[in-house]
Amino acid sequence: MATTSKGVQASYPTHVDINDIYAPTHPDDQYKYSHGLSGVNQPQNNLLVNVLLTTLLLVTIVILVYRVGRGFQAERRHVAAATNPARQAIWATNRWKWFPRLKEHLLYAPLWKNRHNSEIQLSSAITFGTLPSRMHTILLLGYFASNLAYCLILPWKTADAPFLVATLRGRSGTLAVLNLIPTILFALRNNPFIWIFHISYDTFNLFHRWLATIVFLEVLAHIAAWLYNTLRVGDWKGAMWIINQAASYKWGLMASIAFLLITIQTWSPLRHAFYETFLVIHRVLIIHVIIGVYWHLKQHALPQLYWAYIIIAILAAEYVFRFFRVVYFNTSGLFRNRAITKTTVEALPGEACRLKFHLTRPWTGNPGSHVHVYLPSISFWCSHPFSVAWVEPQPLASESEKLPSSIGDLRIKTASSTVSLVVRARTGMTRSLHKKASLQPNKTLTTWGAIEGPYGGFNSLDSYGTVLLFAGGVGITHQISFVRHLLAGHTTGTAAAQRVVLIWSIRSTDILEWTGRWLEEIMAMRDRKDVLQVILYVSGKNSDLDTKLLPEGIEVRRGRCTASDVIDAEILDQVGAMVVTVCGPGAFADMVRAAVRRRVCVKNIDFVEESFTY
């Protein structure tokens, strides 16, 4: 027997089953508003859940209609421009006045002024991540406001405080579990909405982080409501007694603590400073959250239990799909010679490595795609994303010697392929990789590895007459695959490109080693002189460069790249629709974005940014 601060006598029997105490007809049910569905307005919860899901469905339909419309326009432009490349003037101008302004002020706009992917830094070691774009902010604020409104639709005038708080407990708990589904889904590489909407994983990862914040706030509201009604008739000792007696509350407490640790761990400075450690701990904590939520719901047979099954099914499907994807591309199969992927790592100047994955199967990725790399001897627990720079298909020996005798023989058949990446040494795995390769004879390391992919690569540039590709540093790996593809498409008549400009900004000339012979192969391609211009900006003051050593046709400019000057010059000679793409450091990408927004109302210009803001 104990007396609470309000003078209420509370007892904590040790011989009574907590489930009996919680029976609504039990005379000793002092905590009826602290458990189960007592005081919870479940019909209203179901109604608001349906309203929220309907709203999300409408937003999904709007995005899908926009994506299908843009895709149809691009396909129509592609067919028209590729079949008649000399007549693309109609595609160079904006057809409507409202759409360029929508791109300038909403679709391409940062949250404020020009900063978007440029990291907010307190020092060289402490960063607070990046800002969402204006469109992202509107969507996130709208979603947050809707969840807040649903939590506050309570019987303010008709119910007493305990009943009202119990309603809030049920509402916040329901929304927290519901929002956990998209929170988990948006964190996955194989999220189907990436391919349906052609929206990058980077964007969904942003939504994942902010949705997780909303879930955590709803979990806090759920706990606070339970504590209020529990402490109203007891004290902290009574609250702890209830937790110790009921398994449901133990599981709920475990999930809440794990979620609190996740929130602390995902603080941007900690996440960026120890990213690989963060990933391992993050996954372990997520497992604890899901297990805790599942048993918390199951012990009381709550109606949200089916949502937990959905979460578990989504995660299981993700890892099963990843496993079979890795096995397919990195082994030759059970009934062949059982070859596996061999990996060659070459240390390069400028603190980088060139990775070559010798696959046992042909590669199916599009230009601009990326892969996740597994190198167990370097980083056992984690995979890391990198852009695919170059692919070399290896034709079958028999096919290369046989003359075609039928239409089917004209199709090039490949038995394997070599996928090449360039990895800049920073911290963690990339630093260890560069250090280990540098210590090897000839600075070349041979090891076992695997790639998972391809991912991305859904931004086709084939319908544009003018293509500007900005690369900053290692961002060249994303852009160089487009250059080869567009030149080949121009020659075969499958791409509309009549002018392709590659702008590569580097600090020192030793970085040119990263592309190796790839640039030489590109500069030797047919029709290159008619289509391609390569501009190299060298910003380092002490960079000595003998231009005679460069492939013919590469223009070298000293100093920093000014994107607005390049874009303005190309607009004057624009052929057809123009697309400007960028892959590089955050500040560099923000500069290109700002330059595009300045001119997007002048001519028909689209903007595409490739980034990995993990």
Measuring CA to CA, how many Å separate 243 from each of 12, 14, 27, 351, 421?
A: 12, 13, 20, 54, 53
Average of per-residue pLDDT across 335-351: 81
Same domain, 472 and 451: no
Please name which of 370, 60, 68, 281 lies closest in space to residue 185, comparing C-alpha atoms: 60
Statement: residue 591 has pLDDT above 50:
yes
Same domain, 248 and 203: yes
How confident is the model at residue 334, as a pLDDT?
Answer: 52
How confident is the model at residue 235, as a pLDDT?
Answer: 79
Statement: residue 126 has pLDDT above 80:
no
- Cα end-to-end distance, the chain, whole Å: 53
Confidence grade of residue 253 (pLDDT, cut at 50, 70, 90): very high
pLDDT tens digits, residue range 366-404? 999 999 999 988 887 788 899 999 999 876 555 545 555
Average of per-residue pLDDT across 58-82: 94
Residue 268, in any domain of the structure: yes
Same domain, 61 and 145: no
Q: Which residues contact 8 (CB under 8 A, 6 or more apart)?
A: 232, 233, 234
Cα–Cα distance for residue pair 180/214, rounded to 1 Å: 9
How confident is the model at residue 8, as a pLDDT?
Answer: 43
Confidence grade of residue 5 (pLDDT, cut at 50, 70, 90): very low
Same domain, 549 and 573: yes
Backbone angles phi, psi at 297, to 5 degrees: -75, -40
Same domain, 434 and 366: yes
Cα–Cα distance for residue pair 229/361, rounded to 1 Å: 62
Q: Look at the block and give the residue holding tokens 């791409």.
A: 495
Residue 278, in any domain of the structure: yes
Please name which of 364, 366, 343, 346 lies closest in space to residue 354, comparing C-alpha atoms: 346
**Range name among 146-155, 342-351, 400-409 with the lowest pLDDT average:** 400-409
Same domain, 174 and 293: yes
Please name which of 306, 297, 308 lies closest in space to residue 36, comparing C-alpha atoms: 297
Statement: residue 461 has pLDDT above 80:
yes
Same domain, 266 and 285: yes
Residue 524, in any domain of the structure: yes
Residue 497, in any domain of the structure: yes
Confidence grade of residue 65 (pLDDT, cut at 50, 70, 90): very high
How confident is the model at residue 271, as a pLDDT?
Answer: 78
Question: Structural domain tally of the chain?
Answer: 3
Same domain, 87 and 121: no
Confidence grade of residue 12 (pLDDT, cut at 50, 70, 90): very low
Confidence grade of residue 17 (pLDDT, cut at 50, 70, 90): very low
For 177, half-sphere exposure in the C-beta direction (CA atoms, 13 angstrom radius) is: 29
> In this structure, what CATH number is given to the domain that contains residue 375?
2.40.30.10
Instruction: Tell me if 566 sits within 8 A of 594, measured CB to CB.
Output: no
Residue 81, in any domain of the structure: yes
pLDDT tens digits, residue range 521-537? 999 999 999 999 999 99
Same domain, 480 and 505: yes
Asked if the bond preceding 454 is cis, omega within 30° of 0, the reply is yes
Same domain, 124 and 107: no
Same domain, 75 and 205: no
Same domain, 354 and 368: yes
Query: Chain-centre distance of CA 20, in angstroms?
Result: 48
Residue 13, in any domain of the structure: no
Average of per-residue pLDDT across 602-607: 95
Statement: residue 11 has pLDDT above 60:
no
Statement: residue 448 has pLDDT above 60:
yes
Q: 531 by DSSP, 3-state: which?
A: helix
Please name which of 162, 131, 258 lies closest in space to residue 587, comparing C-alpha atoms: 131
pLDDT tens digits, residue range 255-303? 999 999 999 988 877 777 777 888 889 999 999 999 999 999 998 888 8
Cα 201–204–210 angle (5° rounding)? 145
Cα–Cα distance for residue pair 352/430, rounded to 1 Å: 8
Higher pLDDT: 547 or 362? It is 362
Long-range contacts for 314-321 (Cβ within 8 Å, ≥24 apart)?
A: 314/181, 314/184, 314/185, 314/188, 315/184, 315/188, 315/290, 317/190, 318/188, 318/189, 318/190, 321/190
How confident is the model at residue 364, as a pLDDT?
Answer: 86
pLDDT tens digits, residue range 136-172? 999 999 999 999 999 999 999 888 888 999 999 999 9
Provide the 8-state DSSP code for 551. Answer: P
Domain range for 164 is: 115-323
Q: Which residues contact 56 (CB under 8 A, 6 or more apart)?
A: none
Give alpha helix (H) positions in 153-246.
Answer: 161-185, 192-197, 201-233, 236-245
How confident is the model at residue 415, as a pLDDT?
Answer: 66
> In this structure, what CATH number is given to the domain that contains residue 586?
3.40.50.80
Query: Hey, which of 106-120, 235-249, 345-359 has the most confident mean pLDDT?
Result: 345-359
Residue 18, in any domain of the structure: no
pLDDT tens digits, residue range 19-40? 444 444 344 567 778 777 788 8
Q: How many helices (H) and strands (E) does the chain have?
A: 19, 16
How confident is the model at residue 148, as a pLDDT?
Answer: 97
Please name which of 534, 566, 568, 569 lies closest in space to residue 552, comparing C-alpha atoms: 534
Q: Which residues contact 312 (CB under 8 A, 6 or more apart)?
A: 290, 294
How confident is the model at residue 177, as a pLDDT?
Answer: 97
Please name which of 575, 528, 461 lies closest in space to residue 84, comparing C-alpha atoms: 575
**Range name among 277-281, 366-370, 545-549, 579-583 with the lowest pLDDT average:** 545-549
Residue 28, in any domain of the structure: no
Cα–Cα distance for residue pair 295/312, rounded to 1 Å: 12
Instruction: Tell me if 337 sits within 8 A of 421, measured CB to CB.
Output: no
Query: Hey, which of 113-117, 539-543, 605-609 has the most confident mean pLDDT?
Result: 605-609
Q: Rg of the Cα trace of the chain?
A: 29
Measuring CA to CA, how many Å separate 143 from each of 147, 431, 462, 562, 601?
A: 6, 40, 36, 38, 30
Higher pLDDT: 31 or 454? It is 454
Note the pTM of the prediction, 2 decimals: 0.89
Cα–Cα distance for residue pair 358/446, rounded to 1 Å: 11
Q: What share of the chain is helix, strand, coil (3-state, %, to 5)?
A: 50, 20, 30
**Beta-bridge partners for 423:** 353
